[in-house]
Amino acid sequence: MKKVLLGMSGGVDSSVSAVLLKEQGYEVIGTTLELFAGSSCCNINTYLDAKNVCKEIGIPHFTFDFKNEFKKYVIDDFINCYSNCKTPNPCIECNKYMKFGIMYEKAKELGCDYIATGHYAKTEYSEKYGRTVLKKSKAGKKDQSYVLWNIPNDLLEHIIFPLGDFESKDEIRQIAKEKKLKVAHKPDSEDICFIPDGNYKKFLENNSSLKPIEGNIVNIKGEILGKHSGLYNYTIGQRRGLGISNPVPLFVIGFDKEKNEVIVGEENELYKSELLVTDINLLLFDKIDDWLEVDVKTRYSSMQAKAKIKQENEFIKVVFDNPQRAITPGQSAVFYIDDIVVGGGKII
């Protein structure tokens, strides 16, 4: 019997994943990682919900304290990004280093063949490409393949996503009801887990040296249009909260960290035809030697856009068929061929 370590948050997705894996004949061990005290996924209710589900279905459950590692790989990166006028996606760092890094090491210690999570994504062997690939799930907008692009390539054959073939969350909740799981009606957590109140500005001020230092809001010509309350309070594409009276709407289009300036412009100035990414992780190929036609997502919630990409040393250049709005440094550009994840990188 194959053994699998399942990451459990105490929510309905990972709980149903445990049921499905057991029904499929795996020897399942549930685990909850302690990552940040007081977060939406690391509190006494989380641990109890996960532990109770495991007890209900008859599998063991363990908690492991990785708060120091979470601070090093996720919190510090989050702070560093905002300190350098970038907008991070901490879930991506957490997936790379915690769920598919440290948790996999723990799985090997426990003698497990696989690790699993309740993400909406799929892994399967592709005859065409001769390797295990990461694919979109069937869940449409709920698909989470975007936040999984930088998991280590050699782990794909050891990862199971039990929810990959479901089309909606309603199906998952229905299974939870049928199995009489107490978490069946537990609401989804949409916020960054370590900022459950959603106030990332307060979090930054309380946990870093970032403070609201006033500076100028300028246009592309350098003309002063207003004042800002700290660069970390703004992101590319932002319109609200600028406090500027102007005949046409203005949006944040960039920053000058050295001058402590927020740069604004009209909406047409938000569009770009090209971008560069670094911190590359390729899942489908070992290297991209020539121009490759792909679909690209530049944010979790954005639509895919057609583009061609080419690897240039430690960078990948992306050239879009049509200009894209609000390309944001710090976010990830993720590349797809059909429903297969080619890989991705951080926008610079």
β partners of residue 191: none
Active site residues: 94, 193
Within its chain, how far is the Cα of 321 from the centroid? Answer: 25
**With contact defined as beta carbons under 8 Å apart, do 78 and 36 qualify?**
no
Q: Please give the helix or strand (H or E) that residue 127 lies within, else none.
A: none
**With contact defined as beta carbons under 8 Å apart, do 149 and 283 qualify?**
yes
Residue corresponding to tokens 């390729």: 282
* Cα end-to-end span (Å), the chain: 46
Amino acid at 254: G
β partners of residue 114: 4
Tokens for 231?
């660069």
**With contact defined as beta carbons under 8 Å apart, do 102 and 152 qualify?**
no
Question: Shortest CA distance to 119 belongs to which of 133, 137, 101?
Answer: 137
Q: Please give the helix or strand (H or E) that residue 18 lies within, else none.
A: helix 12-23
Amino acid at 51: K
Q: Is 330 helix (H, G, I), strand (E, B) or coil?
A: coil
Largest CA distance in the chain: 69
DSSP annotation string for 98-114: IIIIIHHHHHHHTT-SE
